[in-house]
Structure 1
């Protein structure tokens, strides 16, 4: 290196390779961030699905227990699931459409 303004070829090759490497890593980093956000969203989705299934199982068990309790507690002196009158079949006073006093 007799000339002080001249740069060695090894240095220019090293700088060129480093710049090329940094530029080439951009799309890979973008793809990695996309895959990471997709994996996080999918993990939250699965966690919510499991939670909803657990809630449905608890509600189903409670309903089953109430039906079994109502089925097994048929007694004549207490109203229960089978002896209660439904609102449609219960006698109710119908309004008089002719305005006749009763």
Structure 2
């Protein structure tokens, strides 16, 4: 039962990333879809915030890794944090 649920959850996650993600991430060895949040770009006023990337944990980003998000270079600035079930992670980014 648990394996069937995990397989279903993985399929649902993959479908949601394909349909709802807002960016393409390119690493040295992979390319995938993710959710990118850049607080400074989403406001009409000057703000300060850390860009974050929500992505499938299976993609395995690491602290200090250089990536490209929608054509812009970033570096993962802290060890990524796993969310609830562990299938998703959040990484803080800084411009490269």
Which is bigger in relative contact order (C-alpha 8 A, separation at least 6)?
2
| Structure richer in helix, relative to its length | 1
Shorter-normalised TM-score: what interval? under 0.3
Find the structure with the greater CA-based Rg: 1
Normalising by structure 1, we get a TM-score of: 0.25
| Structure richer in strand, relative to its length | 2
Normalising by structure 2, we get a TM-score of: 0.26
